[in-house]
Amino acid sequence: MTTFADLGLSPKVLSAVTDSGYTIPTPIQAGAIPPALARRDILGIAQTGTGKTASFVLPMLTLLEKGRARARMPRTLILEPTRELAAQVAENFEKYGKNHKLNVALLIGGVSFDEQDRKLERGADVLICTPGRLLDHCERGKLLMTGVEILVIDEADRMLDMGFIPDIERIAKLIPFTRQTLFFSATMPPEIQKLADRFLQNPERVEVSVRSSTATTVTQRLVATHSKDYEKRATLRDLIRAQEDLKNAIIFCNRKVDVADLFRSLDRHGFSVGALHGDMDQRSRTTMLANFKENKLTLLVASDVAARGLDIPDVSHVFNFDVPIHAEDYVHRIGRTGRAGRSGAAFTLVSKRDGKFVDAIEKLIDRKVEWLNGGLDALPPQAEGEEREQRSRSGRERGGRDRDRSRGRKGEARVTETRPAPGIETSETEEKVEAVKAERKTEGRPQTPARSNPRAANHAAPRPANDDNRDRRNRYRRDDDDGPTPLGFGDEIPAFMLIAGKA
């Protein structure tokens, strides 16, 4: 069996690797390190979690032992699509480069230019950047790229998704053609292949898993759910609670606004949760990530962009709150668990609307994903309230006539939201009905339904004594399942609520 000692790394690097506890290189490391040390270009096709970062950091450290940096002329350049990923690569340099005296500079947005300038002034052996920030520095005339010997382009397919390819082309033009290029991508769509053909000279191709495959150590399941957000949130909560072996989990949403909503919802439901999305400032993102890594938070709600490539060892579960629109994102998301041979579980919430996205994923990974709960056909029929709400929505789309009525329906939906998907146990429906009953009793509110004047019922409902501003603000938000249980149900009171009210 190949060991790290067989790969040609320097003694200093080997000693740091041994200290980190690794003895056997992963397949991408075994495949990429020897040709990288021989100054060959590399085309590495590997998803995150395969040990890909060390596959370029270790040979770079060895090669950098000869020569030294000059002011404003970095010797190597690593391009990363996100700030977190760039910071992670810097951490790898710290870990494996602890026996070296290398100057590693991180150029990412959200950090002051002055601080970064000072580092560049000292001469950087390694420059780790997001493309935009690097170009900003170049445009300020503070950086000379003519001394770059090694260029690393990491997560190229994500660079493409994020629209960074023109920036990368500009950057590549600033670097001598004689450089060594190490190019990594989890998937190889045609655009990336074209880019690789242009940037790489006679590369060593190292492909560590079947293209676009997901790790076999991950148990993947689809979970049927009704399509509305509050129902999906209930399904997710039940699913999370049903996982006995859940250590920590990342929950993916397609849009950052949904990240924020889901985060608030889980928080209010008492989960230990953080969020990561592109609108957060750098400090919050770093703190959030550190808390998650240190197990101070159990759940992390994230968007694809924010979570890209994050090295969070030991994530036991991934939940896809939304089916990803781009099938490749499924592979990346699932890559958060089952890393480096560990086992993991990945659940994807699927509603009737998601069929074509699931088909695309199954086509890409070349296998069918099993249903946890018998599939969409096994879902209990839509509750009356939901059908009415959908009708109401069409009404709004026609001219917004039903706005007030739909608020009432929303309230109803809050109470009926917790119909579990089959195979998932829950007692929340009962809990909520009990809560409504109790609230009615303690506050002595009129038991008569607001059928006669739904608008008044919704707007004039008195607040509980302990209601604070936050609750007030959220009370009438559409699609919010977390405020106090509403008391007015418009003209759509569910039958069981009427019985409860008379009791």
Binder to ligand AMP among 38, 210, 340, 460 (CB under 6 A)? 340
Span of 48-56, 206-214, 398-406, 470-478 interacting with ligand AMP by CB under 6 A: 48-56
Question: Cβ closer to ligand AMP: 17 or 413?
Answer: 17
CA-based nearest residue to 318, from 300, 293, 305: 300
Span of 47-55, 106-114, 411-419, 490-498 interacting with ligand AMP by CB under 6 A: 47-55
- By CB under 6 A, tell whether 50 contacts ligand AMP: yes
- By CB under 6 A, tell whether 419 contacts ligand AMP: no
Question: Cβ closer to ligand AMP: 186 or 461?
Answer: 186
Distance in Å, CB of 280 to ligand AMP, minimum: 22
Q: Is 429 helix (H, G, I), strand (E, B) or coil?
A: helix
CA-based nearest residue to 79, from 168, 16, 157: 168
Question: Cβ closer to ligand AMP: 128 or 145?
Answer: 128
Binder to ligand AMP among 2, 12, 15, 22 (CB under 6 A)? 22
Binder to ligand AMP among 35, 51, 74, 490 (CB under 6 A)? 51
- By CB under 6 A, tell whether 54 contacts ligand AMP: yes
Which pair of structure tokens corresponds to residue 372?
């946890």
- In angstroms, the CA 310 to CA 286 distance is 11
Question: Cβ closer to ligand AMP: 14 or 497?
Answer: 14
- Binding-site residue total for ligand AMP (CB under 6 A)? 16
Give the Cβ contact number of residue 471 at 10 Å: 15
Residues 284-313 that bind ligand AMP (CB under 6 A): 311, 313
Q: Quick one: how far is CA 444 from the chain centroid?
A: 46
Distance in Å, CB of 308 to ligand AMP, minimum: 11
Span of 45-53, 152-160, 342-350, 495-503 interacting with ligand AMP by CB under 6 A: 45-53
For helices 52-64 and 83-96, give the axis angle rounded to 10 degrees. 50
With residue 317 as reference, give the H or E element that holds it.
strand 317-320
- By CB under 6 A, tell whether 44 contacts ligand AMP: no
Mapped to the 3 state alphabet, what secondary structure does 121-185 carry?
HHCCCEEEECHHHHHHHHHCCCCCHHHCCEEEECCHHHHHHCCCHHHHHHHHHHCCCCCEEEEEE
Question: Cβ closer to ligand AMP: 40 or 342?
Answer: 342
Question: Cβ closer to ligand AMP: 52 or 83?
Answer: 52
Distance in Å, CB of 398 to ligand AMP, minimum: 50
- By CB under 6 A, tell whether 25 contacts ligand AMP: yes
Distance in Å, CB of 27 to ligand AMP, minimum: 10
Which pair of structure tokens corresponds to residue 418?
């917790």
Which pair of structure tokens corresponds to residue 308?
């890209």
Question: Cβ closer to ligand AMP: 30 or 162?
Answer: 30
- In angstroms, the CA 71 to CA 347 distance is 50
In the sheet that holds 218-224, the strands lie side by side as: 273-276, 299-303, 249-253, 317-320, 344-350, 218-224, 370-371
Integer CA distances (angstroms), 162 to 79, 81, 232, 308, 418, in order: 13, 8, 28, 11, 37
Question: Cβ closer to ligand AMP: 52 or 388?
Answer: 52
CA-based nearest residue to 20, from 127, 125, 104, 97: 97
- By CB under 6 A, tell whether 26 contacts ligand AMP: yes
- By CB under 6 A, tell whether 2 contacts ligand AMP: no
Residues linked to residue 228 through DSSP beta bridges, in sequence order: none
Distance in Å, CB of 47 to ligand AMP, minimum: 8
Distance in Å, CB of 223 to ligand AMP, minimum: 27
Span of 43-51, 76-84, 200-208, 267-275 interacting with ligand AMP by CB under 6 A: 43-51
List the Cα angle 251/342/31 in 5-degree steps.
Answer: 110
Burial class (CB in 10 A: 0-12, 13-18, 19+), 65: middle
- By CB under 6 A, tell whether 248 contacts ligand AMP: no
Residues that bind ligand AMP in the complex, under the rule CB under 6 A: 22, 24-26, 29, 48-54, 311, 313, 339-340
